Amino acid sequence: MKVFKFGGASVKNAEGVRNVAKIINRYSDNLVVVSSAMGKITNLLETLGKAYFEKDGKADSIFNSFKAYHNEICAELFEERKTPDSVQNLFTELEIKLNKTPSLDFDFEYDQVVSFGEMTSTLIISEYLNVAGRKNKWIDIRTCLRTDNKFRDASVDWELTEKLVTGIFNFEKERLYVTQGFIGATTWNLTTTLGREGSDFTAAILGNVLNAESVSIWKDVPGVLSADPKKMEGTVKIDALSYREAVEMTYSGAKVIHPKTMKPLHNKGISLYVKSFLSPDDEGTVIHNIDHKIELPPIFIQKENQVLVTLSPKDFSFINIEDIERVVNFLKENRVTVTLMQQSAIDLNLVLNDPDAKLENIFQELMPFYTVRYNIGLTLITIRHYTEETLDWMVKKKDIYLEQHSRLTARMLVKQ
Ligand code: ASP
Ligand code: MG
């Protein structure tokens, strides 16, 4: 069996849904189709979640846009321009939720509201495939993808998930399943999400536990590119990458695939295809078990909204191993992720990825020992497989805050 993942851009309108059906119809394999919310619906639902939580009176009109967006797509897809009952029931469910008083836990409420994007998109896709003659079974992934209760950033309970998923996606009577990316549920059946853009990860989780032959992510780009074409000229498509290369790229900020996607696939040696839903005949990129030292062009990755935090011991002593230990433990306890670390005699530099809490609050505990300085709004530029020429390009950048080179990777933190 194969797992296909379709992102929001592929199902942003009725034409997109029809195109997805066409792609599915090219394959006679047993398939699990994982979909994200349609278009930019998750962003809209984020504002809805906020309005609901803050009771600022804006929830009604946002909810109406949510409904109108999907009704319009349904009108183009279904007979008599009718939104399927199953979809209308979801709208009612969300409306009931919005009429209740929210709890005090924002992250919990966020997940309860935002998950409606994936629920709605998959029901529309599944209903459309059925009426278009491609029989399929819609699965509520929350019945089998089990997570802990860290709302908005839940971790998967692999053992339980494997047991439940293999029972449900058993292909005994079905050849095609349609289900949601990005969402899951706790053992108490409370809806959770895996973090923004988490649908790729869902596809990888299902691929792993179902021992898929391959996982394909259908995108609006021809595959993995050597740089973001919106930011650089002369990008080339890369035909094949090792898991390791792909992990490095996505971790550094390449947005083409969610960074958590690689591990579950690597662990089972499952190939990942990145293909274009606009030209499904084209090869795309394959990520699999190959020697990562194969010739690759320089690959450019930019990660914005980085913060440089510099800690300097107040008594002017050198940064030693105890300092590093203290800081690392502190970061671990506070679940702060660091993209890069570097030390000099009296500075310990940490690069953080867009922290959502106030920095002063995060680092308060360390203030008695260190002077803490921040630089916000920085961009981390990574070049994998750098050359003399690309390094020259890089050092011409102004306002360099930090630089780090290893054998294959050059990194530079700059103000753009
Ligand atoms: N719909 C979710 C988001 O936009 C998940 C995903 O697209 O992967 O973040
Ligand atoms: Mg998305």
Q: Tens digits of per-residue pLDDT, 138-175? A: 999 999 999 999 999 999 999 999 999 999 999 999 99
At which residue do the structure tokens 């753009």 appear?
416
Task: Transcribe 36-70 into DSSP letters.
Answer: --STTHHHHHHHHHHHHHHT-S-HHHHHHHHHHHH
Structural domains in the chain?
2-212 (3.40.1160.10), 299-415 (3.30.2130.10)
pTM of the model: 0.89
CB 141 within 8 A of CB 180: yes
User: pLDDT digits over 293-343, tens only?
Assistant: 667 889 999 999 999 999 999 989 999 999 999 999 988 888 788 889 999
Query: Which residue has its alpha carbon closest to ligand 1 atom 6?
Result: 197
> Average pLDDT for residues 245-273, to the nearest whole number?
92
User: pLDDT digits over 276-289, tens only?
Assistant: 999 999 999 999 98
Residues with CB under 5 A from ligand 2 (ion): 7-8, 36
Q: Report the candidate in 386, 379, 382 with the shortest Cα–Cα distance to residue 414.
A: 379
Query: For 266-305, b where at least 16 C-beta lie within 10 A, e where not — what string?
Result: beeebbbbbbbbeeeeeebbbbbeeeeeeebebbbbbbee
Q: What pLDDT was estimated at residue 231?
A: 82
User: pLDDT digits over 343-392, tens only?
Assistant: 999 999 999 987 766 777 778 888 999 999 999 999 999 999 999 888 88
Query: Which residue has its alpha carbon closest to ligand 1 atom 3?
Result: 197
Residues within 6 Å of ligand 1 by CB? 7-8, 36-37, 42, 117, 181-182, 196-199
Counting from 1 in the atom list of ligand 1, the atom nearest the Cα of 40 is 4
